[in-house]
């Protein structure tokens, strides 16, 4: 359904395609819960020929980070700001939650409209709809009958649970994947890949492919319970380990310099960087937005120059359960940051995690051990330090070997925590949201 709606929007949005030559069309494709190991170009058993082709023709972003969950990643993408600066740092919004991404946040599509773009969205919002002011059409997205350039945000529901796909897709793996959940998940991924292929062909048929930039990203790591794999990374969706936050991503476009097409980019990047990057492509500015945490990465992507990003605050979430009363840790009582708080930060190649981390297990390669994929982890304590360049699988906790780095990162967490706003009440629910009160449909109710 998403693809049909997308093609319809595309058909009415290319009335004067020749007028878009100065500024590119931008298509941002966001997969839902796609695991690191679940695209073909990461040596997966799952077939994604269209994704692989686009990635091969573009720039693969292999040091690219998102957040551990759906709503938070979408909030960072739309605002270009850390979660701690919008109050979206805890959990996900559910249908009955009487709040949304704060309406005083200036969103990417609003800024792109100010730069002359038509803006369209097809797919999953997940940033709240308790009142009409929270919904996409009131946050900068429109259906515009007119000339290009255009920005289209295409957030798939795939490959999020529930695991459902027409048999012809899951049957592609009936002889190779014996685990039912993973077989269905693989079929869903291939189905999404087919949709992306259809969209790419449409862009070419409409004569606008040569002036289009496509970005592909996942919103968070894959959920192993529902067939995904983040091998060889540690952790999964809802985890601050690499398996929850390091995502497959690439940029593909005929506009890329031939010198970078077909290359791998290992520079540090973050989902919040797309806001200023897209504004740069649009020839616009970010004056009028709230202070951004995102960094314009177009020169890094298109020319291979070093990234200006040296730090990522993955999250600081005070609402997760804190330390157990029996916990004894030498870092408790340090003068900088409460290690019982769930937080994660990276500076350079160093990454520090404190408090609750989410799933901390590793997994074996699913093609080799489809029935028993979890490798239990040991308790690393309340503070964990890893050198990600040398230890991307987070197997060696260096907290006792580099206390100088630990102190430095705790100080950075302290600094960022002083800029944080309190998290919203994600766990608050309203009976007024009940579809039975609205003709058995989900609607804004405030």
Catalytic residues, which ones?
Answer: 70, 126
Helix (H, G, I), strand (E, B) or coil at 62: coil
DSSP-derived secondary structure letter, 270: E
H/E run at residue 250: strand 249-252
Give the separation between CA 381 and CA 12, rounded to whole angstroms.
56
Give, in order, the Cα–Cα distances in Å from 314 to each of 266, 273, 339, 357.
18, 13, 15, 11
Give the separation between CA 386 and CA 333, rounded to whole angstroms.
22
Give the separation between CA 182 and CA 170, rounded to whole angstroms.
9
CA-derived radius of gyration, the chain: 21
Q: Could you please report the per-residue DSSP string of 151-199?
A: EEEEE--TTSSS----HHHHGGGTTT--SHHHHHHHHHHHHHHHHHHHH
Cβ(92)–Cβ(85) below 8 Å:
no
Q: Could you please report the per-residue DSSP string of 65-106?
A: E--SSHHHHHHHHHH-S-GGGTT--SS---TT-S--S-TTSP
Give the separation between CA 386 and CA 235, rounded to whole angstroms.
14
Instruction: Evaluate the CA torsion angle 268, 89, 353, 238 in order and state its sign.
Output: negative
């Amino acid at each position: 359904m998403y693809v049909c709606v997308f093609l319809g929007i595309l058909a009415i949005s290319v009335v004067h395609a020749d007028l878009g030559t100065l500024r590119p069309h931008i298509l941002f494709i966001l997969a839902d819960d796609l695991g690191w190991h679940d695209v073909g170009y990461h040596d997966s058993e799952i077939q994604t020929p269209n994704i692989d082709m686009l990635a091969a023709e573009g720039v693969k972003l292999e040091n690219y980070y998102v957040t551990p969950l759906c709503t938070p990643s979408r909030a960072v993408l739309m605002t270009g700001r850390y979660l701690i600066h919008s109050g979206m740092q805890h959990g996900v919004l559910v249908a009955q939650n009487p709040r949304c991404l704060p309406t005083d946040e200036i969103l990417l599509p609003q800024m792109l409209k100010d730069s002359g773009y038509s803006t369209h969205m097809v797919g999953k919002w997940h940033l709240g709809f308790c009142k009409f002011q929270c919904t996409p059409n009131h946050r900068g997205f429109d259906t515009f009958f007119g000339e290009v350039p255009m920005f289209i945000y295409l957030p798939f529901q795939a490959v999020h649970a529930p695991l459902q796909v027409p048999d012809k897709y899951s049957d592609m793996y009936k002889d190779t994947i014996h685990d039912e959940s993973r077989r269905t998940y693989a079929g869903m991924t291939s189905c999404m890949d087919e949709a992306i292929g259809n969209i790419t062909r449409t862009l070419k048929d409409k004569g606008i492919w040569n002036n289009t930039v496509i970005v592909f990203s996942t919103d968070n790591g894959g959920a192993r319970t529902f067939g995904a794999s983040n091998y060889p990374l540690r952790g999964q969706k809802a985890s601050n380990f690499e398996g929850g936050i390091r995502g497959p991503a690439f940029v593909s476009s005929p506009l890329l310099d031939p010198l970078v097409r077909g290359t791998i980019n290992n520079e540090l990047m973050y989902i919040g960087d797309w806001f200023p990057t897209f504004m740069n492509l649009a020839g616009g500015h970010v004056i009028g937005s709230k202070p951004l945490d995102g960094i314009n990465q177009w020169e890094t992507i298109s020319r291979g120059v070093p990234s200006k990003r040296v730090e990522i605050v993955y999250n600081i979430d005070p609402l997760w359960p804190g330390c157990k009363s029996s916990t004894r840790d030498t870092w408790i009582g340090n003068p900088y940051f409460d290690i019982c708080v769930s937080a994660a930060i990276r500076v350079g190649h160093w990454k520090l995690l404190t408090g609750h981390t989410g799933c901390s297990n590793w997994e074996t390669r699913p093609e080799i051990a489809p029935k028993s994929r979890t490798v239990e982890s040991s308790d690393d304590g309340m503070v964990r330090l890893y050198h990600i360049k040398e230890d991307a699988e987070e197997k060696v906790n260096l907290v006792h070997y580099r206390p100088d780095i630990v102190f430095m990162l705790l100080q950075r967490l302290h600094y960022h925590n002083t800029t944080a706003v309190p998290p919203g009440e994600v766990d608050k629910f309203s009976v007024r949201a009940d579809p039975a009160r609205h003709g058995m449909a989900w609607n804004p109710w405030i």
